[in-house]
Amino acid sequence: MAAVRTSSEVAFNRIAIAAVLIATLIFLAPIYWIASTAFKPKELAVSVPPTVLFEPEVTPFVRLFTKRVQMQKTVDPQAYEAAPWWEKRIYDGGERVLKVGKDVQLSQYPDRFMNSLIVAVISTVLAVGMGTFTAYGFSRFKIAGEADLLFFILSTRMLPPVVVAIPMFLMYRAVGLNDSHIGLIILYVAFNLSFSVWLMKGFMDEIPKEYEEAALVDGYTRMQAFFKIVLPEAATGIAATAVFCFITAWNEYAFALIMTNRRAQTAPPFIPSQIGSGLPDWTTIAAGTFLFLLPVAIFTFLLRNHLLRGVTFGAIRK
């Protein structure tokens, strides 16, 4: 801009910033609604008019993690007194927590959450590990048909999940990998590998090759140079790639819906299946959604300087 700013420019600038703030509020409103519903008393989740301010409670999370049944008669006062605070909250709602002996029965949610964690972490480690080696290969060595190979790698990422899922479902059924962690991990590695190669290649290209040349002159083997010089230099890139792969695997829905139904089911197909019939308990669903979205929100802030690179497969770096 010109050094001297006219008053109309200043005014326009202010209007633009005000507009940005309003837009930010609009974009965050749905997320606020999820987060706030997770802390609402049941009746306020579906109140008319919608409740924006209220006294938060953690009861939805207690409901999320426990198996409960509707109580036929009122609770025995002695049992109520003896119950811990969280169990009282359940009694207050006219329900009781199911137990085997003294052990509280957990709902399916922690199980599904763990499945998501296992599948996302293992598939991320494999995809980023393989991707890092391959990216180094593409970055440093002459490869016949390099552009075509890279296109081939990227194109596997673009395949619509349902298209790949049909034959994979049949093949998994034949070898007994349906509804297994390994089956889902393989699919997620295949899905993230191309992304990991492309993103890591961008990071590898930025590491000056003179570093390794100097190491080779100093008597390192190529492998030593790779592990001792290149990998430490690429640490930030590896971390960013890993977080992206984790988020993709964590959020993935279509493969999980088709390939799993009980044992290995992850949270994304599980959470919508909670809706069931009748009036859904939105506070419990919101509590599950909130816990599920929280890691991604935190990772988004950690990744903020690499987001552009990530969503363009490393092509645009700023």
Q: How far is CA 279 from CA 8, 31, 45, 63, in A?
A: 54, 22, 12, 16
Q: How far is CA 215 from CA 73, 227, 230, 236, 278, in A?
A: 78, 11, 10, 21, 68
Q: How far is the CB of 119 from other proteins (least distance, A)?
A: 14
Closer by beta carbon to other proteins, 71 or else 214:
214
Tokens of 48: 């008319």
295-314 residues in contact with other proteins (CB under 8 A) are 296-297, 299-301, 304, 307-308, 311-313
Instruction: State which of residues 10, 31, 79, 82 lies at the interface with other proteins (CB under 8 A).
Output: 31
Tell me if residue 104 falls in helix, strand or coil.
strand
264-293 residues in contact with other proteins (CB under 8 A) are 267-269, 271-272, 275, 282, 285-286, 289, 292-293
Instruction: Answer yes or no: are the C-beta atoms of 128 and 242 closer than 8 Å.
Output: yes
- How far, in Å, CA of 281 to CA of 45, rounded? 9
Instruction: State which of residues 137, 180, 233, 261 lies at the interface with other proteins (CB under 8 A).
Output: 137
**Could you report how far apart the first and last alpha carbons of the chain are, in Å?**
21
CB atoms inside a 10 Å sphere around CB 254 = 16
Closer by beta carbon to other proteins, 180 or else 251:
251
CB atoms inside a 10 Å sphere around CB 134 = 20
Q: How far is the CB of 105 from other proteins (least distance, A)?
A: 25
- How far, in Å, CA of 178 to CA of 165, rounded? 11
For CA atoms 37, 40, 41, 47, give the dihedral sign.
negative
Q: How far is the CB of 233 from other proteins (least distance, A)?
A: 15
For CA atoms 42, 45, 48, 49, give the dihedral sign.
positive
Q: If you search the block for the tokens 């479902």, which residue do you land on?
A: 169
Size of site (CB under 8 A) for other proteins: 111
For CA atoms 62, 67, 71, 77, give the dihedral sign.
negative
Q: How far is the CB of 55 from other proteins (least distance, A)?
A: 19
Q: How far is the CB of 282 from other proteins (least distance, A)?
A: 5
Q: How far is the CB of 163 from other proteins (least distance, A)?
A: 4
175-204 residues in contact with other proteins (CB under 8 A) are 186-187, 189-190, 193-194, 197
114-133 residues in contact with other proteins (CB under 8 A) are 130-131, 133
138-167 residues in contact with other proteins (CB under 8 A) are 138-143, 146-147, 149, 151-156, 158-167
**Position 250 contacts other proteins (CB under 8 A):** yes
46-105 residues in contact with other proteins (CB under 8 A) are 46-50
Encoded one letter per residue, x for contact with other proteins by CB under 8 A and - for no contact, window 199-228 reads: ------x---x--xx--x--xxxxxx-x--
Q: How far is the CB of 97 from other proteins (least distance, A)?
A: 26
- How far, in Å, CA of 307 to CA of 285, rounded? 29
Q: How far is the CB of 264 from other proteins (least distance, A)?
A: 17
8-state DSSP, 196: H
Instruction: State which of residues 134, 178, 265, 284 lies at the interface with other proteins (CB under 8 A).
Output: 134
Closer by beta carbon to other proteins, 235 or else 297:
297
